Amino acid sequence: MSVTTRYREAWEGFWREAPTEQGAVLWDAEPSLTAKVHLALLEPFLGAPGLPLVDLGCGNGTQTRFLADRYPRVVGADLSAAALDHARLADPAGQASYRLFDAAEKAEAEMLHAELGDVNVYMRGVLHQCEADDRQALVDGLATLVGDRGRAFVVELAEEAGALLRGLAQGPGGPPAKLAPVLRHGIAPGEVADAAVPGYLRTAGLVVLASGELPLATTECRADGSRIELPSRWMVLRRG
């Protein structure tokens, strides 16, 4: 089962319109506030740290490039060709490699695993804006990639973040500038119920090694200049 055509087209449209400069997209926060913080939580659990690392849902590759400074082989994977165009443009030295990839397509996940072997996965904010019918298939694909030796760091918006975003969108001045294009392209962030996530993991055969809550930094600010941060939950996962 692959992701719906509507979902893929929404992301293509979003990334074709997106500015190329770093920080112009709502979730494109600097790695010091995102991947660097997350790696500190993941690394104690890496049983095989020499494995390739896949940045799943890499978008324009800001976090991918940071990861490629720290790991010998990093692959940025995304289902949007336009996002990967941004990522490659921003990485002229080719620190990482980039792959058009649909994790919800079983054959694609199996093919990438056959090529790379077990991998460690970094996945930030992918599940929470998936179409409902694709969520289990995505988590199944994640389990395929990590195999027996890999670990996955997954951070997703908490359910309450969806309400916060909807509140921002309905403000008197309309949605903040960087949230507006997300909504215009029909991408609905913060749609996964917290209680649904354990079921997806259990079905995929994934177990939680560690978990917690963190604010997820955005690149957008409120009228008073304070950065908008969204409630999120993080997990380190392995195959059971």
Task: Give residue 37's pLDDT.
Answer: 97
Residue 98 pairs in a beta bridge with 76
Question: Is pLDDT above 70 for 124?
Answer: yes
Q: How far apart are CA 176 and CA 186, in angstroms?
A: 16
Q: How far apart are CA 10 and CA 132, in angstroms?
A: 15
Choice between 184 and 52, residue whose per-residue pLDDT is larger: 52
DSSP E strands in the chain: the ranges are: 53-56, 74-78, 97-100, 120-124, 152-157, 206-221, 227-239
Nearest to 73 by CA among 111, 112, 105, 36: 112
Q: How far apart are CA 218 and CA 66, in angstroms?
A: 17
Task: Give residue 126's pLDDT.
Answer: 93
Choice between 168 and 152, residue whose per-residue pLDDT is larger: 152
Give the CA radius of gyration of the chain.
Answer: 17
| Number of other residues whose CB lies within 10 A of the CB of residue 186 | 13
Domain range list for the chain: 5-239
Choice between 173 and 10, residue whose per-residue pLDDT is larger: 10
Question: Is pLDDT above 90 for 70?
Answer: yes
Do residues 27 and 48 make contact, with C-beta atoms less than 8 angstroms apart? Answer: no
Task: Say which CATH topology domain 5-239 has.
Answer: Rossmann fold (3.40.50)
Task: Give residue 1's pLDDT.
Answer: 47
Choice between 147 and 47, residue whose per-residue pLDDT is larger: 147
Residue written as tokens 């309450």? 160
Q: Calculate mean pLDDT across residues 134-143.
A: 96
Q: Calculate mean pLDDT across residues 213-219.
A: 94
For residue 64, give the amino acid letter.
T
Task: Give residue 47's pLDDT.
Answer: 87
Question: Is pLDDT above 80 for 180?
Answer: yes
Choice between 222 and 212, residue whose per-residue pLDDT is larger: 212
If pLDDT is split at 50, 70 and 90, which confidence band does 186 have?
A: confident
Find the length of the chain.
240
Give me 190's structure tokens: 């913060």
Task: Give residue 190's pLDDT.
Answer: 66
Choice between 224 and 126, residue whose per-residue pLDDT is larger: 126
Lowest pLDDT segment from 113-117, 164-168, 192-196, 213-217: 164-168
Question: Is pLDDT above 90 for 22?
Answer: no
Task: Give residue 3's pLDDT.
Answer: 58
Mean of all residue pLDDT scores within the chain? 93
Question: Is pLDDT above 80 for 185?
Answer: yes
Q: What angle do CA 112, 115, 116 make, to 5 degrees?
A: 85
Enter the pTM of the model. 0.95
